[in-house]
Structure 1
Amino acid sequence: MLKDMKAHCHLKPGQKGTKRLVEQYGESLLCVRYQYDEQRGVRIKTVELVVYEKSWQPPFRFKDDDIVPIAVAYNETDLREKLRKARAKWDPEIKMWLTQYRFIRNTALESRISGEFMKRGKAP
């Protein structure tokens, strides 16, 4: 029934057509929709309410230009060669390869990003 109906109006709290609902639901009111059922000839008013709120931190995501350290053992010559092709530079201080995230995104090298770096969320 509701899936076949068309929503013609999507209102934010405080707009004309929502005032009584704002009085009733207060800050919990997110939006009001008017839906029309042409077959039955009725208009339905629905509301979207906040019923639970909890703090949330979005997961850390790399940007394409972020410099990421890649851990590769000395004997993994194939991976070192891939990193060179991905424009990576060796950093002798931290003993890791540094490259822009865009060059290793969606490759096997992505799983080699230093775990300590992931916790800090910033370049070495």
Structure 2
Amino acid sequence: MLKNMKTQTHLKPGQKGTKRLVAEYGQSLVCVRYRYDKVRRVRLKTVEIIVEEKAWPFPPEHGDGDMIALRVGYAEKALRAKLKAVGGRWDPVEKVWRVPFCSVQGTELEARILKE
């Protein structure tokens, strides 16, 4: 059934053509779509609504094996030696230390991770 249809209009709540549906569904309304079926020659008005909302545990940003970039000052020789010992490598192009995330996870070094 859906393979014969084409979605032509996608409306957000509050736009013309959605006022009655906003009154009916309120904050649960996500969008209104007009679908056209050429085979049956009909127009369908569909709504997308929120039926459930619950907490979602945020997925970890890095996996244990991921190499992450760390900001380390030139004068921090002890820290540089520690990073070398856990498999870290200096990246001369980007001027950052590349270290496996598992060696930094749960330590004070997490605050030094650079967003890429």
TM range, smaller chain = 0.5 to 0.7
Task: Give 3-state SS (helix, strand or coil) of 1:24's partner.
Answer: helix
CA 1:53 to 1:31, structure 2 compared with 1: closer, same or farther past 3 Å? same
CA 1:43 to 1:57, structure 2 compared with 1: closer, same or farther past 3 Å? same
- Report Cα offsets for 1:46-80 as digits up to 9, x if no partner: 11111111223432324986229xxxxxxxxxxxx
- Report Cα offsets for 1:19-41 as digits up to 9, x if no partner: 11000000000000000011111
Sequence identity of aligned pairs in percent? 43
Runs of 5+ in structure 1 lacking a partner?
A: 69-88
Q: Is the 8 A contact 1:30 1:47 kept in 2?
A: yes
Q: Is the 8 A contact 2:4 2:38 kept in 1?
A: no
Q: Is the 8 A contact 2:30 2:47 kept in 1?
A: yes
Q: Normalising by structure 2, report the TM-score.
A: 0.62
Residue 92 of structure 1 and its aligned partner are, at CA, apart by: 3.6
The question of 1:20 aligning with 2:20 is answered yes
Q: Is the 8 A contact 1:67 1:98 kept in 2?
A: no
Letter in 1 for 2:81: D
Number of equivalent positions: 96
Runs of 5+ in structure 2 lacking a partner?
A: 72-78, 92-96
Q: For the residues of structure 1 that align with 2:84 and 2:40, how far apart are their CA atoms?
A: 71
Q: Is the 8 A contact 2:13 2:22 kept in 1?
A: yes
Letter in 1 for 2:111: K
The question of 1:98 aligning with 2:88 is answered yes
Residue 18 of structure 1 and its aligned partner are, at CA, apart by: 0.6
Q: Is the 8 A contact 2:33 2:46 kept in 1?
A: yes
Q: Quote the residue 2:74 is aligned against.
A: none
Q: For the residues of structure 1 that align with 2:47 and 2:83, how far apart are their CA atoms?
A: 58
